[in-house]
Structure 1
Amino acid sequence: MNTNITKLSKLFLVAVFGFSLTVQAQLKSEITIGYNKDAPVINKNIYGHFAEHLGRCIYDGFYVGPDSKIPNTNGVRNDIIAALKDLGIPNLRWPGGCFADTYHWKDGIGPKDERPEIVNQWWGGVTEDNSFGTHDFLDLCETLGTEPYLAANVGSGTIEEFTDWVQYVNHSGKSPMSDLRKKNNRDKPWGVKYWGIGNEMWGCGGNMTAEYYVNIYKRYVTFMADWSNSGDLFRIASGANAGDYHWTEVMMRDIPKHMLEGVALHSYSVIDWSNKGSATKFSEEQYFSSMKAALFMDELVRKHSEVMDKYDPEKKTALIVDEWGGWYDVEEGTNPGFLYQQNTMRDAMIAGCTLNIFNNHSDRVRMANLAQTINVLQAVILTKGDKMLLTPTYHVMKLYKVHQDAKMLPVKVSSPEYKFGDKALPAVSVSASQKEGKTHVSLVNIHTSQSVTTQINLDGIDIKNFTAKIISSGKLQDHNTFEKPEAITPKEFKDFKFKKGVLTVTLPPFSVVVLEGN
């Protein structure tokens, strides 16, 4: 082989992919998708989001104030409202996170100029004026058509404070708290269904043991009235940190079934907590580590589900993964406590694989919340002054919203390996669903250099034709910027063939493809 040609080829690969690669033979995978009448419906709440009082998520993110020159509705940016409506977010968690267990909700109601200032001790030590509070958040949820998910202050609050909050937002009759709500210009209650009883009680919520917290949980829930008398309250216990299966065991063993609708789980795709690395300037080794951490979610969900199955074989209690996503070092020159990071094709891979995992485990996973919505961690939206951009993660979630409340189709996957050194991961991730006569298949190829030819056998599923969209780019480190906000957007995808019930798709390196058949 001509040495100069070989050198040029290697230089090309470095330029395109951002790191040196070895050319291999094209990879192949085989997938079988069938129909099972007993398969679960993929709960739309798996596609939930998370908005904490952290950095620029609320202030200078969602909320710019009614006097801002940026077009807004009651202080919330109109472009963000439009983007989140288009994304179809089913639920939104607020006000934290760690912030929840230092937040006192009565500080955030009433005339804005009379609200006390507070210091956000968790995130940057900044002073907040409480101008965005309960009314602002719940009215925003109404505008978005999304379910609010409130995280209660258990760490530094009281049972009375908590039950007053439930009464304030849910009681339609005459009571001290409903009267206070009406005084603050809201006659009709919001009817909040989803309630988290504290957050990360093993850590920032109070550094408790599972055995101690479970009794705290039962006390709070005992005094938590369902003011609508509908029986619709969905009570979520603060759950485990990643692989702490003992925590889940205690929650399921010691909380009576009639007091528990969901158990939470938190897990982030982190390379190394002591050295998380840059969001945009990363090596293939760091990328591989990120994907290994993301794919570990499958093991976490399976093992926590196995613990839950011991006490709840009918799967009535949901596993709620209400914090997930990539976590890197903050962008240079930004406040370390604000957790502001860019969002690249790596994050698109994390989003696609994680959502496939949740879809495939939708018998137990019935809610999840990406951390976080705007300007924090793996955000779907970034803002800068009056500018706004949609990240690759936003575009993945928008393509995947077709799975919301669709019947899950069981998949069997034979995947080639994506190798780095002596380690290997499955290259291909998939999930599928069916709704209103349409079949959707979401595919991810995490390999950095190799396309994967995927043969999909549609076992007894009647489909006449397919269309598809793809999210891909030239380099894993590529991302949208305020100068080029549409560098990465979904495009029409045609590199597939459909013949006699067999769909053959060629997945480019590090790409997400969603196919629609009818």
Structure 2
Amino acid sequence: MMNKLQIIGAFVIAFCSVSLLNAQDATITVKPSKDAPTISKHIYGHFAEHLGRSIYDGFFVGKDSPIPNTDGVRNDLIEALKEIKIPNLRWPGGCFADTYHWKDGIGPQEDRPTIVNTWWGGVTEDNSFGTHDFLNLCEVLETEPYLAGNVGSGTVKELADWVQYVNHDGTSPMADLRKQNGREKSWGVTYWGVGNEMWGCGGNMEPEFYANLYRQYATFMGSWNNEAGLYRIASGANSADYNWTEVLMKNIPKSLLDGVALHHYSVIDWNKKGPDVDFTEDHYFTTMKSSLFMDQLITKHVAIMDKYDKKKEVDLVVDEWGGWYEVQEGTNPGFLYQQNTMRDAMIAGTTLNIFNNHSDRVKMANLAQTVNVLQAVALTKGEQMILTPTYHILKMYTVHHDAQLIPLDLDTPDYEYNGDTLPAISASASKDAEGKTHISLVNIDAHKENTVSIDLSALNIKDFSAEILASDKLQDHNSFEDPEHIMPEGFKDFKFKKGVLEVTLPAFSVVVLEGK
């Protein structure tokens, strides 16, 4: 038998062993470089498709609505988007773009034809929200419009006329039509998508066919006195379709190409996407595996781009990303309405860190979507509007807009589940124009806190402040009954001594630190 000392000794050894097993330490070393790229603010872009309650009953409630609005767009949403410094907004789709004919949405409301949204719910729309409404909204938001052109069911002339209509200040048929419709000065739209998902809903095309079609459309898209010129974006690959990127980069002259798109959603299984709120850890782990796959996707697509564009003249534009689950119970399956939980905060934080760290090539991205659809930043219900955990991440990350990337070396522990592992810690850092350093950290582990040690000796930082987004359960979310259940808070669980910052991250949390 063991005596008391032996028993106590055995207990201490066992306790220490468990503590060591639970101790999760990550290390980060910053490697500032004068040659590091700028993190374009356009990485933090948004997407508003004619889908479900995104435009109608989301953005647009109508000028006669009792809900306070500016030309029909709800004021609370406008103010919320200004708070996150929305840099660009993509419209009108998505799949909807390749069935949308822009002339149906201009001129007197009573003369506009209706349209059946065959992609999303089969609803009939009255075209009350069109080109003028969207571009005027972008002016109110002080954001860059990103127009997705109709290549799937449109014509070269139709897209060329749209460019002329919104960009030409002189005398021409389309400029005159715009003036007749009440807008004297052009809007000067820079960003143009030449079709959307041409491998799928845009026409089920082969990449070689689309590359030739793109060349034709892009050739006839004159800038029409837009001082910045046009930034033309080719419809890019579906996730890991590397051949699509290869064909486009090989077959389209760089003189006609400014960006190549990429679409990737954090989804469990396209046939069984799992619930939006009542998900299990198995659902969560699989979703995060799909989300973190974005890093590999970008690395491989960029390697292909580098073969044909060593000077990095063509950008990678991830103009659709986000979490995709089964719709909320009781809602129209074609409306893609889902709640937004701490899982979505994890997706947002890790994905934006990935974009930041690839900012030498990723110059633009668009979260899908802004309001009431997929991973929305806002949800509306009549006069009520709530801001989601994803919204708060985007607001916390505004510090990275147009700041210089600080490259990092990251050594992270694993998040282990059911015999599989994922990197638990995600991070990115930048230095802004005022000389402030910002570090964004995400711990995706569903159970364990992690300590992160950051060697900042290469930077002259004297003090830090921080905020955190965290909650008790991964399934937690903001609701119309409890709209501020999840909110950013001040964070103090860190130490800074002799150039080393030590941060203790709670399970499934996001922390943004500011050093100066």
TM-score (norm 1): 0.95
Match in the other structure for 1:288: 285
- CA deviations on 1:275-311 (whole Å, 9 max, x unpaired) are 0000101111110000000000000000000000001
Shift, 1:190, TM fit: 0.1
Match in the other structure for 2:192: 195
Structure 2 distance, partners of 1:255, 1:132, is: 34
Match in the other structure for 1:494: 492
Shift, 1:23, TM fit: 11
Structure 2 distance, partners of 1:333, 1:516, is: 43
Alignment of 1:446-457 (within 5 A): 446-457=444-455
| Residues 371, 377 of structure 1: 8 Å contact kept | yes
| Residues 190, 226 of structure 2: 8 Å contact kept | no
Q: In the alignment, does 2:97 pair up with 1:106? A: no
- CA deviations on 1:185-227 (whole Å, 9 max, x unpaired) are 1000000000000000000000000000000000001111111
Structure 2 distance, partners of 1:88, 1:229, is: 23
Shift, 1:24, TM fit: 5.2
Structure 2 distance, partners of 1:322, 1:309, is: 20
**1:119/1:75 Cα in 2 relative to 1: closer, same or farther (>3 Å)?**
same
Structure 1 distance, partners of 2:64, 2:226, is: 40
Alignment of 1:62-461 (within 5 A): 62-228=59-225, 230=227, 232-435=229-432, 436-461=434-459
- CA deviations on 1:131-153 (whole Å, 9 max, x unpaired) are 00000000000000000000000
Shift, 1:459, TM fit: 3.9
Instruction: Report the AA paired with residue 122 of structure 1.
Output: W
Instruction: Report the AA paired with residue 294 of structure 2.
Output: M
- Kindly report the root-mean-square deviation, in angstroms, between the aligned alpha carbons of the 2 structures: 1.0
Shift, 1:500, TM fit: 1.1
| Residues 99, 154 of structure 2: 8 Å contact kept | yes
Match in the other structure for 1:484: 482
Structure 2 distance, partners of 1:363, 1:373, is: 26
| Residues 35, 459 of structure 1: 8 Å contact kept | no
Structure 2 distance, partners of 1:23, 1:98, is: 51
Shift, 1:242, TM fit: 0.2
| Residues 23, 449 of structure 1: 8 Å contact kept | no
| Residues 189, 226 of structure 2: 8 Å contact kept | no
Match in the other structure for 2:509: 511
Instruction: Report the AA paired with residue 97 of structure 2.
Output: A
Instruction: Report the AA paired with residue 74 of structure 2.
Output: R
Instruction: Report the AA paired with residue 449 of structure 1.
Output: H
SS at 1:394's partner residue? Answer: helix
Shift, 1:366, TM fit: 0.3
| Residues 55, 339 of structure 1: 8 Å contact kept | yes
| Residues 24, 450 of structure 1: 8 Å contact kept | no
Query: Bigger shift: 349-358 or 111-120?
Result: 111-120
Structure 2 distance, partners of 1:231, 1:376, is: 32
Query: Which sections of structure 2, spanning at least 5 residues, go unmatched?
Result: 1-18
Structure 1 distance, partners of 2:365, 2:30, is: 24
Shift, 1:406, TM fit: 0.2
Instruction: Report the AA paired with residue 371 of structure 2.
Output: I
Shift, 1:163, TM fit: 0.5
SS at 1:447's partner residue? Answer: coil
SS at 1:279's partner residue? Answer: coil
- CA deviations on 1:27-67 (whole Å, 9 max, x unpaired) are 11101112101000000000000000000000000000000
| Residues 87, 401 of structure 1: 8 Å contact kept | yes
Structure 2 distance, partners of 1:503, 1:494, is: 12
- CA deviations on 1:366-389 (whole Å, 9 max, x unpaired) are 000000000000000000000000
Instruction: Report the AA paired with residue 89 of structure 2.
Output: L
Q: In the alignment, does 2:26 pair up with 1:29? A: yes
- CA deviations on 1:463-483 (whole Å, 9 max, x unpaired) are 110000000000000000001
Query: Bigger shift: 101-110 or 223-232?
Result: 223-232
Percent of matched pairs sharing the same residue: 68
Match in the other structure for 2:12: none
- CA deviations on 1:318-350 (whole Å, 9 max, x unpaired) are 000000000000001100000000000000000
Instruction: Report the AA paired with residue 484 of structure 1.
Output: D
Structure 1 distance, partners of 2:451, 2:203, is: 50
Shift, 1:26, TM fit: 2.4
Instruction: Report the AA paired with residue 481 of structure 1.
Output: S
